[in-house]
């Protein structure tokens, strides 16, 4: 389960860095696939889950959570991605705890891989990543005129079935859960 920015939010998050992450060994994340993961339920697919029951569980655990805004800053170069960290961490962590408890409450067997902090990847490492000069990427990021920050308004959660092919993460939407006071 995760957070999906609007198209305008996704473009604001990725556009400043498009040239920096378009190099061998890095695969830019296209705006339509930008996401902020709360929880990966590793080892369980759509057929193993009663989606309606899971959505009901999540709603019970998030019924007092009101919408909030995550702010994302400049990306950092990591071992598997170029990612932007966000804040506030506490609101994100509370939402992650609620989703994890709800998913665990369904009784489905899975490995919980919860995000420990809000982040959005603007590129993933791919074939040839061993040749990426991280210092050169960092220098290119530093050359992006700024200050830079972008926001994502969090008013709903998205349950998706997701795939990672080694270069892209894609998904199929399964359900949305609105936070308290959000409109459809």
Q: 169 forms bridges with which residues in the sheet?
A: 164
CB 2 within 8 A of CB 38: yes
Of 38-42, 64-68, 121-125, where does mean pLDDT reach its minimum? 38-42
Could you tell me the sign of the dihedral formed by the alpha carbons of 112, 114, 120, 124, in that order? negative
Q: Which two tokens stand for residue 59?
A: 């709603």
Give CA 60 to chain center in angstroms. Answer: 22
pLDDT band at 22 (very low <50, low <70, confident <90, very high): very high
Q: 107 forms bridges with which residues in the sheet?
A: none
pLDDT in tens, 141-164: 999 987 789 999 999 999 988 888
Domain range summary for the chain, segments of one domain joined by +: 2-178
- What pLDDT sits at residue 166? 77
Name the burial class of residue 59, with classes exposed (0-12), middle (13-18) and buried (19+) by CB atoms within 10 angstroms of its CB.
Answer: middle
What would the mean pLDDT of 111-118 be, rounded to a whole number?
A: 86
Q: Which two tokens stand for residue 177?
A: 């859960």
Give the domain 2-178 fold. Cyclic Phosphodiesterase; Chain: A, (3.90.1140)
Q: Are strands 2-3 and 119-125 parallel, antiparallel or unpaired?
A: unpaired
In sequence order, which residues have a C-beta less than 8 Å from that of residue 178 and are 6 or more positions away? 155, 156, 184
pLDDT band at 110 (very low <50, low <70, confident <90, very high): confident
* Residue indicated by tokens 């604001």: 12
Q: Which two tokens stand for residue 168?
A: 């892209």
């Amino acid at each position: 389960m995760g957070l999906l920015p609007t198209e305008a939010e996704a473009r604001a998050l990725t556009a400043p860095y498009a040239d920096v992450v378009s190099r061998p060994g890095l695969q830019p994340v296209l705006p339509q696939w930008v996401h902020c993961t709360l929880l990966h339920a590793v080892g369980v697919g759509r057929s193993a889950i009663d989606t309606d029951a899971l959505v009901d569980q999540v709603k019970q655990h998030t019924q007092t959570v009101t919408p909030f805004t995550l702010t994302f800053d400049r990306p950092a170069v990591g071992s598997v991605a170029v990612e932007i960290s966000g804040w506030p961490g506490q609101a994100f962590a509370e939402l992650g705890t609620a989703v994890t408890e709800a998913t665990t409450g369904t009784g489905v067997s899975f490995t919980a891989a919860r995000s420990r902090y809000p982040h959005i990847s603007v590129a993933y490492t791919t074939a040839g990543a061993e040749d990426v000069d991280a210092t050169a990427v960092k220098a290119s990021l530093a050359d992006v005129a700024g200050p830079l920050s972008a926001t994502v308004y969090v008013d709903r959660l998205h349950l998706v079935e997701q795939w990672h092919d080694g270069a892209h993460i894609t998904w199929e939407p399964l359900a949305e859960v609105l936070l308290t006071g959000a409109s459809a």
